[in-house]
Amino acid sequence: MEVLDLIRERRSIRSYDGRVVETEKLEKVLEAGRLAPSARNMQEWKFVVVQGARLAALCEACSSQRMVQEAGTALVICAAEDHVMPCGQPSGTIDCSIALSFMLLQAQELGLGMCWLGAFDADAVKRALDLPQEWVPVAVSPLGYPAEQPAARPRKAMEEITLFLKD
């Protein structure tokens, strides 16, 4: 499958069927994140795989979003170190976002679903998972087999979002 096809088909999945994600598939999703580009190739991210009893505490730290537990696996993407790049942007947030984007696409190819969550209390996530104080949770995503097939959401026209500058 071509990358654009994966991008077109990917949806935010908020309902999971409860099947356990096979280790081989989980490892492929994590590998996609590991191979993502990062500022100065520092790879200052940590991928926390949460399963079992800890999912309940993570769910609570994520505004009690049921899907966190329902999927059977959740990923917490953390910035292990952060610096501000010359462009003024924090590298940790951007690097973790790129890594999770790669993971989302790999999950799609494997028939798995994910949903990028921003509704969580970062300090509560760290407490629930006993994460080191210096790690900053950037994103949380359930990972599992979809129990839904959401329709595509509308996208703006290319002309609305693109500016071509030519000399």
pTM: 0.95
The whole domain housing 102 covers 3-149
Question: Is residue 79 a part of any domain in this protein?
Answer: yes
Tens digits of residue pLDDT in 74-128:
999 999 987 899 999 999 999 999 999 999 999 999 999 999 999 999 999 999 9
CATH code assigned at 82: 3.40.109.10
How far apart CA 22 and CA 35 sit, in angstroms, is 20
The amino acid sitting at 122 is A
Half-sphere exposure of 163 (CA within 13 A, CB side): 1
Question: Is residue 99 a part of any domain in this protein?
Answer: yes
Question: Is residue 154 a part of any domain in this protein?
Answer: no
Question: Is residue 28 a part of any domain in this protein?
Answer: yes
How far apart CA 137 and CA 124 sit, in angstroms, is 10
Tens digits of residue pLDDT in 54-77:
999 999 999 999 999 999 999 999
Question: Is residue 159 a part of any domain in this protein?
Answer: no
Question: Is residue 56 a part of any domain in this protein?
Answer: yes
DSSP H or E run through 73: strand 73-79
Half-sphere exposure of 35 (CA within 13 A, CB side): 10
Number of domains in the chain: 1
Question: Is residue 160 a part of any domain in this protein?
Answer: no
